[in-house]
Structure 1
Amino acid sequence: MSASLVILATRPPEWSREQFTTWWRSEHADYAKKLPGLAAYRHGEVTFDYDHPEGPAWDGHAVLTFASREVLDAALHSPEWAAAVAHVGKMKGKRIALITEELDLLAAQDA
């Protein structure tokens, strides 16, 4: 079963949403793409928040998927992960980081 690192994040207070999305999808993605064993890397810009319709509580999310929890754990102990974390630095935004085990429910339906 695949495992993913799921990140929800907000931008630093002095950054625009566009600046944060551009940074995440380009400069920061260049670091994350180097993680050993990375099978898929998706990023989403939050455009609407049902719980906060007046303005999203989060600016974006990323899903970094690996073949297994063991492969994900190895990536989190790699020099590439350390470099990605160092690149974020002290941005002053908020984040939630979760490790999930995923099951594709559409694929399971066809099986």
Structure 2
Amino acid sequence: MHTIAFLFKRKPGMTREAFDHHYKEIHAPIAARLPGLVEYRHYPAREANRGDVHAHVPHGFDALSVYTFESEEAAAAAWNSPENGPVQTDTLLFIDVETMITLPLTFRQVV
């Protein structure tokens, strides 16, 4: 599997409510059309509480998106596909790409 995660902030001036709506209702269906996508998960950030040991939420991050493809080649094909054009265009409408962190990940199940 080939997994990549994006940790990001909303565009400056955008409310959390507007961001959450756009992320779930508008962006998700567009990104879900990427060819070869095996799994696509959203993790909207929440306030840390007592059950979150060692919680340090970097200032202003709003969400984490995780994309999983069968292989590196499948991911490259998706990012270079015509379906990715609308994903990138929409991303610029609600995500502060200047502060986005990209994490290529390897899955290792422990429990």
**TM-score, scaled to structure 1:** 0.80
CA displacement at 1:57 relative to structure 2? 3.0
Describe the superposition over 1:45-104 as per-residue Cα deviations: whole angstroms up to 9, x where unpaired.
11135224xx84310011011111111111111111122001222546231122223233
Alignment gaps of 5+ in structure 2: 49-54
Alignment gaps of 5+ in structure 1: 107-111
| Larger helix share, 1 or 2 | 1
Question: Which letter does structure 2 place at the counterpart of 1:68?
Answer: S
Spell out structure 1 runs of 4+ moving beyond 6 A. Answer: none
Q: Which moved more, 1:18-27 or 1:33-42?
A: 18-27
Structure 1 Cα separation of the partners of residues 35 and 28 of structure 2: 14
Q: Give the aligned length.
A: 103
Aligned identity (percent) is 28
The answer on 1:82 being equivalent to 2:85 is yes
Q: How is 1:4-15 mapped onto 2 (pairs within 5 angstroms)?
A: 4-15=3-14
2:8–2:62 contact (8 Å) kept in structure 1: yes
The answer on 1:63 being equivalent to 2:66 is yes
Question: Which letter does structure 2 place at the counterpart of 1:70?
Answer: E
The answer on 1:103 being equivalent to 2:108 is yes
> Partner residue of 2:52?
none
SS in 2 for 1:23: helix
Structure 2 Cα separation of the partners of residues 83 and 26 of structure 1: 15
Structure 1 Cα separation of the partners of residues 69 and 41 of structure 2: 12
**TM-score, scaled to structure 2:** 0.80
Describe the superposition over 1:15-62 as per-residue Cα deviations: whole angstroms up to 9, x where unpaired.
11122122111101111000001111110111135224xx84310011
Question: Which letter does structure 1 place at the counterpart of 2:25?
Answer: S
